[in-house]
Structure 1
């Protein structure tokens, strides 16, 4: 005895709308109609519908179910691709669970990029926020360099910079800038990409510049921004002088040889 659409859906544990959706998607064959115009489904339709439901429960997309024939001939390539996607999802979920456990246990924090936990104490709250933003702007190689910079950077001037108020006088600003400049100069020399980060950008140069400007303007007060500008200018002068001196020494050494 043939089944109606509603009877087929009930037997398969699904809905009439789902059966119709499978028809429209081409994964379930349309049955013949009786003289009164009603569809009549047979056992092959029920078996195919149960097969589709099983594959859907496994996470197989409809587009790939279509390649799985009514006879059960399943292309290995399609299922292997699905298996790879599932493995990647499991790995991502396991990493997420591990990070959540670490946060709960207090061994990591959410206000820093992954991998920066060991240097967290060396960063102020604004600097932590800046690192989170940097992670969206720079590639992993650049982020690894930034972590190394934080790890090896001298503390000279950091406390004074953090305590600097917006109305700090010019003398204080210049003094702190001169304290910060040597470390910035060393970074510029050790990591040339800081002067031209184009190859390490995850976003376009324009978006990166706008995002950086908007972020630092909100994180630091006027005096701190002024100090950063002065320290950067001094650092570039120190880096240029050091490079010139090194070149001169090398030339002198070659002449002696």
Structure 2
């Protein structure tokens, strides 16, 4: 018994408009017509329509369905590709759910990276903004090191002194603060060393990340604070070089080879 367009659409769980669209793009053959001009859909039309509906329901695009045709040899690769895409989507959704669960906890904050809510209270707005940028640009391992350092709060008073440094701080104040901060730069004299490793792998992406951090620092901290960080880095580097030279000299120092 042949079916009309409305009937076959209803049987397949779709719409007349969809059936006509499948005809238009060549996915579904046009049926013969009755003498009165009405279409006559047969079993093979219904099975093809059900196949299309099944494939699209599994995530196969209409373009892929058209390319697959009736030859099943190439179907497996299409299904594997879609399965890989679905796996990535599931993982992304699981991460989203985990993030939402974390943000739902008491005291959680959306303006710091995941895992930093416990240290958010001691941070100011510019610190929080910088952490969000860091989380985008640097590896998870780097951010975990940052979190541990903030959690340990190695010198809270020094942190506050730096944050309160005014734009017009004089030369002496900048130098004094830089000398206080220098031992903490790169974990030189503490157990809280932080090495920021970019997420990006290509040289161009690394340069872009470094440039973004530079712009962020300039936007979030005043010139006096940036000058202090620059000085502290120079002092720390110089002290590190001096220690290295001292160790080398001690290794090369000859022993007492005097003779009686």
Per the normalisation by structure 2, the TM-score is 0.74
Deviation at 1:127, TM superposition (A): 2.4
**Quick check: 2:12–2:46 contact (8 Å CA) kept in 1?**
yes
**Quick check: 1:185–1:238 contact (8 Å CA) kept in 2?**
no
Q: Deviations over 1:68-88 (max 9, x none)?
A: 766999955544554444344
Q: Deviations over 1:208-246 (max 9, x none)?
A: 233112211221122222222222222222222222223
Higher-helix-fraction structure: 1
Q: Deviations over 1:168-206 (max 9, x none)?
A: 222222221111111115359997966xx6796576244
**Quick check: 1:141–1:200 contact (8 Å CA) kept in 2?**
no
**Quick check: 2:185–2:236 contact (8 Å CA) kept in 1?**
yes
User: 1: CA distance between counterparts of 2:168 and 2:63?
Assistant: 64
Q: Which runs of 5+ in 1 are unaligned?
A: none
State how 1:1-257 maps to structure 2 within 5 Å.
1-23=1-23, 28-34=27-33, 40-66=40-66, 75=75, 78-106=78-106, 108-120=108-120, 123-151=123-151, 154-155=154-155, 157-186=158-187, 204-252=205-253, 255-256=254-255
Q: Deviations over 1:82-136 (max 9, x none)?
A: 4444344333323322321221222643223334445545644322321221222
**Quick check: 2:56–2:62 contact (8 Å CA) kept in 1?**
yes
Q: Deviations over 1:2-21 (max 9, x none)?
A: 44545533443333443344
User: 2: CA distance between counterparts of 1:143 and 1:251?
Assistant: 40
For the aligned residues, what is the CA RMSD?
A: 3.9
**Quick check: 2:113–2:135 contact (8 Å CA) kept in 1?**
yes
Q: Which runs of 5+ in 2 are unaligned?
A: none
Deviation at 1:162, TM superposition (A): 0.9
Seen in structure 2, the aligned counterparts of structure 1 residues 185 and 13 have a Cα distance that, compared at 3 Å, is closer
Number of residues of Structure 1 aligned to a counterpart in Structure 2: 252
User: 1: CA distance between counterparts of 2:241 and 2:36?
Assistant: 91
